[in-house]
A and B are shown apart, each in its own frame.
Chain A
């Protein structure tokens, strides 16, 4: 154990193979559970059997610790517990709970291993298990990487089953009826004579019973809730303006703050003149914070407006100032010194390509893109004498506690984090700069709750965008088939940038440079995929699906070019090359859904794309029409395999929305830098898709995969290449750079 602890203290093991030697013992010691945090706060007559279930005389609360940014994970977590606990929707309340090691996420690290997600060999599973153990040791709680369902699926069903069996045992002791003769239904234990004992009435008795740990999970054939349409717990509030997001919270005595920090991210504040701001109505103070200033006022608008009047002299950017230089740095990264890792090397691509007379070659670009969720970043922070309260929606509670504690001079466990529903994230709420700003203000005003709201412009200026990439493909076709494919991708390491900001050093290569490329389970006779690490670019962060939107676009576009060069059918050749059964069925299914039958003519074109991400094989077919006003996207057919669809209604909505998201950004979004600053400031120059561009989207979820997978992200990566491939089919124009509107008009 000492060795594993030493390793884990040094930093995360993500993407590293350095865990050999620590594995077995580490996993063993990691199996010791964290104590149940709900037991601490229990009052007389209240019972909690595990960290997710609290039963009181007046109601039942299910703790759903994964952050809800709109993906519906609060409902999905509750459904898993309620299924086994025999609760109906509406019979319980939900709570995010307080940060606690008991809510560690094993699945967050499980795909960050140097094995393809489709590789379920003993070795790959052992390493995943070990990393899960590391997450448990660290008590690393988090939401991201489409991991909430993989993390929760067994754990929360088991929590529900433990609660059910413990309540049955309590009922048995109360009534003298044997446990075997009891059943549960709709929030009650039912006696053989039909008498119902509500769980809430059993709370007091159950509090004295040791939780029953030996439980059996229900056969999927018996599921009442999982796989069936349920009404999301947040849907009424979100349809009536009564959902309270972080930005809507009211705390007694609150003051409003707006900030301006150096738009050259991480650059210094040199000097400022706040005289105009101080004279404005409602403004009570102007404070200095690291890298900028904050205005304190009695109203959000007054604070934002006053902050805009402050004249500031900013220091230079600690990265390349001009966009052209960013592209040059990427182009220069294709060299042996900057080779991050060779992820696939099958057959002999070099020899095959050298020997060929005709080599297909192409280069692709994927730009920086902003997260820009509609709820601007905001937080309320109040620094108390021996604690700090933080109200905001965030995906990484322990990181938040550590960063805020470092500013307030307290310990992480003194930071009381109250998580909130989030108005969109796409990765934005993994970041901590806005919280550091709020804490830096609040620490100067002890006892006063400070509500920081970013203006939309500040939100754009301080977004850490999706990393850019350049991809280079070389390949050979023969006899109507793809024979050799080589894909090199240069990008900055998003993991190094993101984790570096919280002081964590990540050893080893970054799988996100080539994620969406290396992990596609094709059996191409000669295949090589390499990642190259570019340096000196702007700080970047995880954007929905992280590496896969860029690398997936590069890989699948180039595969499409090779297939066309071979004269093969784009769908049939992908199916022929596919080396993974569940993935092949996804491709076959999407072909059936679209009635795929070769070229369409009449200005219409169809493209197919397949990208695997987060363990989800995902195929899309897009149909476009080339009109005299530009490309119109008519239909999208989407098929994927998530092992188990937890809620079909939410599933369909997420897939449709994510495809709209993927298409919109592929069409018209990029962040570019000039003088070290992002040039895009609001939605008018980073628009994405609007309703009149949204196509019909037909969705099917398959359940052939052996593991349950999350669907927060995997629909995004195939959208861009499917569209580019469709545009090629309709027009003959191959678009190799996002955003596509730099090269072709859209209706």
Chain B
């Protein structure tokens, strides 16, 4: 089965029902994508599938066949940060950081669709991303900062 992950074509031999999460983590070694709940309750596994934010723990590998998958590791890197990642660093959002890959991917998808979200828009888009450390106030602030940065660009 062929997938395009972070711009690179990859071939895997897996069951069609294996969740994309585990294809990425265990078969391709892309560990920025996190396992938190396995049932789309926490959002830690969020990736973009053809530009749309999805929970990779609930996306069978077969659904990703031939699709463009973007993970946190492909969104930006420490040397070439995406605006959302830059804002996350500026606001020092992360505590344990385990949910933040999913938060950032969800936020990036939100901003791609809505470049100037209100707090209510943010709450609507981010409601499914659980943060056990409770970093929500800084997530809101960082999304506003990222929106402003993207508008300047």
Chain A residues near B (Cβ < 8 Å): 69-72, 231-232, 234-245, 247-248, 250, 256, 281, 299-302, 304, 372-376, 421-426, 453, 455-457, 649-650, 653-654, 656-661, 664, 682-684, 687-692, 694, 696-697
Q: Is the CB of B29 within 8 A of A250?
A: yes
Listed A/B pairs (20) with beta-carbon separation below 8 Å: A70-B94, A71-B95, A72-B95, A239-B97, A240-B78, A242-B78, A250-B29, A374-B130, A421-B97, A422-B96, A456-B39, A653-B93, A657-B95, A658-B134, A660-B131, A661-B132, A688-B130, A691-B122, A691-B123, A694-B136
Q: Is the CB of A456 within 8 A of B38?
A: yes
A423–B44 alpha-carbon span in the complex (Å) = 11
Contacts A424-B132, A691-B122 given; does A239 touch B27 at CB 8 Å: no
Kindly list chain A residues whose C-beta atoms are within 8 Å of the C-beta of B73: 240-242
A456–B98 alpha-carbon span in the complex (Å) = 14
A453–B136 alpha-carbon span in the complex (Å) = 27
Contacts A240-B85, A281-B15, A691-B139 given; does A424 touch B133 at CB 8 Å: yes
Q: Does B5 lie at the interface of the complex (its beta carbon under 8 Å from any beta carbon of A)?
A: no
Q: Is the CB of A691 within 8 A of B127?
A: yes
Q: Is the CB of B99 within 8 A of A660?
A: no
Q: Is the CB of B26 within 8 A of A375?
A: no
Mark contacts of B51-74 with chain A using CB atoms, 8 A cut-off: 1 yes-contact digit, 0 otherwise: 000000000000000000001110
A688–B41 alpha-carbon span in the complex (Å) = 12
Q: Is the CB of A300 within 8 A of B126?
A: no
Of B22, B89, B133, the contact of A239 (CB 8 Å cutoff) = B89
Of A231, A372, A425, A657, the contact of B135 (CB 8 Å cutoff) = A657
What's the minimum C-beta distance from A482 to chain B, rounded to whole angstroms?
33
With A239-B93, A373-B98, A657-B95 known, 6 other A-B pairs at CB within 8 A are A239-B89, A374-B42, A423-B96, A455-B38, A660-B134, A684-B39
Contacts A72-B95, A248-B31, A423-B98 given; does A691 touch B136 at CB 8 Å: yes
Q: Is the CB of B92 within 8 A of A241?
A: no
Of A247, A372, A457, A653, the contact of B35 (CB 8 Å cutoff) = A247
Kindly list chain A residues whose C-beta atoms are within 8 Å of the C-beta of B29: 250
What's the minimum C-beta distance from A146 to chain B, rounded to whole angstroms?
15
What's the minimum C-beta distance from A306 to chain B, rounded to whole angstroms?
12
What's the minimum C-beta distance from B40 to chain A, rounded to whole angstroms?
9
Q: Which residue of chain B is the closest to A72 with respect to CB atoms?
A: B95
A656–B135 alpha-carbon span in the complex (Å) = 7
Chain B residues near A (Cβ < 8 Å): 15, 18-19, 21-22, 25-27, 29, 31-39, 41-42, 44, 71-73, 75-78, 81, 85, 88-89, 92-101, 104, 122-124, 126-140
A376–B96 alpha-carbon span in the complex (Å) = 13
A540–B39 alpha-carbon span in the complex (Å) = 26
Kindly list chain B residues whose C-beta atoms are within 8 Å of the C-beta of A72: 95
Q: Is the CB of A374 within 8 A of B122?
A: no
Kindly list chain A residues whose C-beta atoms are within 8 Å of the C-beta of B132: 372-374, 424, 426, 661, 688
A238–B135 alpha-carbon span in the complex (Å) = 13
Closest 10 CB pairs of A and B: A241-B32, A70-B96, A660-B134, A423-B98, A238-B97, A241-B72, A657-B134, A248-B31, A301-B22, A692-B123
Of A238, A426, A453, the contact of B100 (CB 8 Å cutoff) = A238
Of A234, A247, A661, the contact of B133 (CB 8 Å cutoff) = A661
Q: Is the CB of A375 within 8 A of B96?
A: yes
What's the minimum C-beta distance from A634 to chain B, rounded to whole angstroms?
13
A235–B71 alpha-carbon span in the complex (Å) = 18
Q: Which residue of chain A is the closest to B96 with respect to CB atoms?
A: A70
What's the minimum C-beta distance from A701 to chain B, rounded to whole angstroms?
16
What's the minimum C-beta distance from B17 to chain A, rounded to whole angstroms?
9
What's the minimum C-beta distance from A424 to chain B, rounded to whole angstroms?
4
A346–B80 alpha-carbon span in the complex (Å) = 63
Max count, chain B CB within 10 A of own CB: residue among A239, A248, A256, A658:
A239
Of B94, B95, B98, B127, the contact of A692 (CB 8 Å cutoff) = B127
Kindly list chain A residues whose C-beta atoms are within 8 Å of the C-beta of B78: 236-237, 240, 242
What's the minimum C-beta distance from B132 to chain A, rounded to whole angstroms?
5
Kindly list chain B residues whose C-beta atoms are within 8 Å of the C-beta of A661: 132-134
Max count, chain A CB within 10 A of own CB: residue among B81, B85, B135:
B135
Kindly list chain A residues whose C-beta atoms are within 8 Å of the C-beta of B32: 240-242
Q: Is the CB of B137 within 8 A of A697?
A: yes
Q: Is the CB of A241 within 8 A of B96?
A: no
Q: Is the CB of B76 within 8 A of A240?
A: yes
Kindly list chain B residues whose C-beta atoms are within 8 Å of the C-beta of A240: 32, 72-73, 76-78, 81, 85
A691–B122 alpha-carbon span in the complex (Å) = 9
A376–B38 alpha-carbon span in the complex (Å) = 11
What's the minimum C-beta distance from A665 to chain B, rounded to whole angstroms?
10
Q: Which residue of chain A is the closest to B33 with respect to CB atoms?
A: A241
Of B98, B124, B128, B140, the contact of A375 (CB 8 Å cutoff) = B98
A694–B35 alpha-carbon span in the complex (Å) = 24
A248–B31 alpha-carbon span in the complex (Å) = 6
Kindly list chain B residues whose C-beta atoms are within 8 Å of the C-beta of A232: 92, 94
Kindly list chain B residues whose C-beta atoms are within 8 Å of the C-beta of A423: 34, 96-98
A687–B78 alpha-carbon span in the complex (Å) = 32
A231–B78 alpha-carbon span in the complex (Å) = 14
Q: Which residue of chain A is the closest to B140 with respect to CB atoms?
A: A691
Contacts A241-B71, A300-B26, A684-B39 given; does A235 touch B133 at CB 8 Å: no
Q: Is the CB of A299 within 8 A of B92?
A: no
A244–B31 alpha-carbon span in the complex (Å) = 8
Q: Is the CB of B37 within 8 A of A682?
A: yes
Kindly list chain A residues whose C-beta atoms are within 8 Å of the C-beta of B95: 70-72, 424, 653-654, 657
Kindly list chain B residues whose C-beta atoms are within 8 Å of the C-beta of A300: 22, 25-26, 35
Of B34, B92, B104, the contact of A235 (CB 8 Å cutoff) = B92
Q: Which residue of chain A is the closest to B19 with respect to CB atoms?
A: A301
A697–B138 alpha-carbon span in the complex (Å) = 10
